[in-house]
């Protein structure tokens, strides 16, 4: 299908192609089955589908990969959410005794939404995002990834572009999946630093000694704040920002003495460069610290209020909370109405923190965009059309593979599965599927190691 022929009304025709030829059912099942950790683990998982015209279907569950595949190809959902593993099959929740249908396990998840930063970004608002404010997601990923690994010991973190205006993190370790509501709340609160709603001007307060976690977070924030805060958001250059951050934000007891504020306001009249103004603020903080006075962390508080991750703690606390799955379509617009996206995963070992100036860069530099397939136009190019063209393009070895399929006609199921695998391998999406496979291999290897450890402890040789 030529890219010039694309029409948004064709989406219902394209979804069946997506689910029939390119959705990673094998990897998807492998992820949510976790090696069959216990009986009925996969079949007790809740799925919900959003269909055409916003029809919402909850409490879906499936016994096997094949059953899931058939239902998704039948319903062609516009969006997929996944929830907890329950005590009973979710599809039978109305048939079990009242009070016995309980959410037992789910990945520990974190949701960082760009709209929660609207008070500290001037480039965009609401669902819009750009290269400037995407820096906030970069900072959030770096801070939280380190903390979850080093402070809590988790290993299997799946960072996922939410599809619209932020990122999700799925912590897939067995210990994380079994956490109680209280334990999830404790982790979320540990990682939360920015407190207060729209009416709260000062949302970060530090005291001595600064917690090691906050110190580690500051190391990340300090790398990005000069460019993000001073240059791209110009917080000390625009008059409304200067008034806000020197008068309202810092005019608090023990935070910035009135004489220091007056000195800064006078200095700012003589100096217009944001970098120099910021140095003046930091110099005052240093002087207060040297004098042994309290409230000398106001420079750090400003940086953290502007840049520290803002979590939706309710998403992390609830075991039965539904969250958009990876590979799920998201048909709302943002990025200045340029992109329509799917939920796709970050490769943290590569340049995962660069924001695209074109769709090609988004795919190549940020995402494991192996199923970024809803038609998107950037510079007149529809990415979905390119993938379709790749599917239809002859390649080396095509004739040999066709001959193999002819030989396998007696086993149509196996032949169909091989064709489906080759479909994504024929496109530029193949390398991203491989990355997801590597993530799943890591989970499998950990499970194998744990089984060996338990066997050794039981002396089961």
> 251 falls in which pLDDT band (50, 70, 90)?
very low
> Which of 46, 81, 232, 301 is an active site residue?
46
pLDDT of amino acid 398 = 55
pLDDT of amino acid 12 = 81
Instruction: Among 132-136, 188-192, 330-334, 344-348, name the most confident range.
Output: 188-192
Show the tokens assigned to 225: 């704040």
pLDDT at residue 362 is higher than 60 = no
> Which of 81, 105, 107, 113 is an active site residue?
113
> 71 falls in which pLDDT band (50, 70, 90)?
very high
Report phi then psi at 141, rounded to 5.
-60, -45
For the chain, give every domain's residue range: 197-308
pLDDT of amino acid 353 = 40
% of the chain with per-residue pLDDT over 70: 70
Lowest-pLDDT range of 47-56, 96-105, 129-138, 335-344: 335-344
> 199 falls in which pLDDT band (50, 70, 90)?
confident
SS3 letters for the chain?
A: CCHHHCCHHHHHHHHHHHHHHHCCHHHHHHHHHCCCCCCCCCCCEEEEEEEHHHEEEEEECCCCHHHHHHHHHHHCCCEEEEEEEECCCHHHCCCCCCCCCCEEECCEEEEEEHHHHHHHCCCCCCCCCCCCCCHHHHHHHHHHHHHHHHHCCCCCEEEEECCCCEEEEEECCHHHHCCCHHHHHHHHHHHCCCCCCCCCCCCCCCCCCCCHHHHHHHHHHHHHHHHHHHHHCCCCCCHHHHHHHHHHCCCCCCCCCHHHHHHHHHHHHHCCCHHHHHHHHHHHHHHHHHCCCCCCCHHHHHHHHHHCCCECHHHHHCCCCCEECCCCEEEEEECCCCEEEECEEECCCCCCCCCCCCHHHHHHHHEECCCCCCCCEECCEEHHHHHHHHHHCCCCCHHHHHHHHHHHHHHHHHHHHHHHHHHHHCCCCHHHHHHHHHHHHHHHHHHHHHHHHHHHHCCCC
Show the tokens assigned to 187: 């982790």
> Which of 111, 173, 249, 299 is an active site residue?
111
pLDDT of amino acid 325 = 84
Region 38-63 average pLDDT: 94
Active site residue 71: no
Question: In DSSP terms, which residues pair with 341 in a beta bridge?
Answer: 330
Show the tokens assigned to 35: 């090696």
Structure-model confidence comparison of residues 159 and 222, the more confident one: 222
pLDDT of amino acid 201 = 79
pLDDT of amino acid 394 = 66
> To 5 degrees, how large is the angle CA 111–CA 214–CA 315?
15
> 284 falls in which pLDDT band (50, 70, 90)?
confident
> 404 falls in which pLDDT band (50, 70, 90)?
low
pLDDT of amino acid 430 = 74
pLDDT at residue 460 is higher than 60 = no
Active site residue 111: yes
Structure-model confidence comparison of residues 377 and 94, the more confident one: 94
Active site residue 263: no
% of the chain with per-residue pLDDT over 90: 42
444 HSE (CA, 13 A, CB side): 13
Show the tokens assigned to 419: 């064709």
Residue 252 makes CB contacts below 8 A (sequence gap 6+) with 202
The Cβ of residue 353 has, within 10 Å, a number of other Cβ atoms equal to 17
pLDDT of amino acid 459 = 67
List the one residue out of 442, 451, 368, 454 whose CA is nearest residue 154.
442
Chain mean pLDDT for the chain = 78
Q: Is the pTM of this model over 0.75?
A: yes
On whether the CB atoms of residues 166 and 114 are closer than 8 A, the answer is yes
């Amino acid at each position: 299908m030529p890219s010039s022929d694309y029409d948004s009304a064709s989406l219902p025709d394209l979804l069946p192609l997506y689910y029939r030829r390119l959705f990673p059912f094998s990897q998807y099942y492998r992820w949510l089955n976790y090696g069959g950790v216990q009986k009925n683990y996969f079949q007790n998982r809740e799925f919900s589908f959003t269909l055409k015209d916003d029809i919402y279907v909850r409490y879906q569950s499936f016994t096997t990969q094949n059953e899931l595949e058939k239902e998704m190809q039948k319903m062609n959902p516009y969006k997929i959410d996944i929830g907890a593993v329950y005590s009973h099959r979710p599809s039978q929740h109305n048939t079990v005794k009242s009070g016995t249908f309980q959410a037992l396990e789910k990945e520990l998840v974190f949701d960082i939404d760009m709209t929660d930063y609207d008070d500290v970004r001037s480039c965009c608002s609401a669902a819009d995002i750009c290269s400037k404010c995407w820096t906030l997601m970069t900072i959030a990923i770096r801070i939280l990834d380190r903390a979850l690994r080093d402070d809590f010991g988790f290993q299997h973190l799946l960072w996922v572009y939410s599809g619209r205006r932020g990122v999700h993190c799925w912590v897939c370790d067995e210990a994380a999946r079994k956490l109680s509501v209280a334990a999830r709340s404790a982790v979320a609160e540990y990682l939360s630093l920015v407190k207060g709603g729209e009416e709260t001007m000062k949302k970060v307060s530090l005291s001595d000694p600064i917690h090691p976690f906050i110190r580690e977070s500051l190391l990340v924030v300090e790398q990005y704040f000069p460019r993000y805060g001073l240059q791209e958001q110009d917080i000390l250059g625009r008059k409304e920002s200067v008034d806000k951050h020197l008068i309202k934000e810092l005019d608090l007891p023990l935070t910035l003495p009135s004489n220091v504020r007056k000195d800064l306001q006078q200095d700012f009249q003589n100096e217009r460069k944001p970098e120099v103004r910021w140095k003046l603020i930091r110099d005052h903080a240093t002087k207060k610290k040297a004098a042994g006075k309290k409230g000398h962390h106001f420079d750090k508080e400003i940086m953290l209020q502007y840049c520290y991750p803002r979590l939706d703690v309710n998403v992390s606390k609830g075991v039965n909370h539904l969250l958009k799955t990876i590979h799920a379509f998201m048909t709302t617009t943002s990025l200045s109405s340029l992109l329509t996206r799917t939920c796709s995963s970050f490769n943290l070992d590569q340049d995962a923190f660069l924001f695209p100036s074109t769709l090609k860069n988004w795919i190549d530099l940020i995402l494991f965009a192996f199923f970024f397939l809803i038609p998107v136009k950037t510079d007149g190019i529809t990415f979905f059309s390119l993938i379709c063209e790749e599917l239809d393009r002859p390649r080396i070895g095509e004739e040999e593979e066709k001959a193999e399929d002819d030989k396998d006609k007696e086993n149509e199921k196996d032949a169909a599965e091989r064709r489906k695998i080759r479909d994504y391998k024929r496109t530029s999406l193949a390398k991203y599927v491989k990355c997801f496979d590597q993530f799943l291999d890591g989970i499998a290897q950990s499970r194998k190691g744990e089984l060996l450890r338990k066997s050794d402890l039981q002396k089961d040789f």
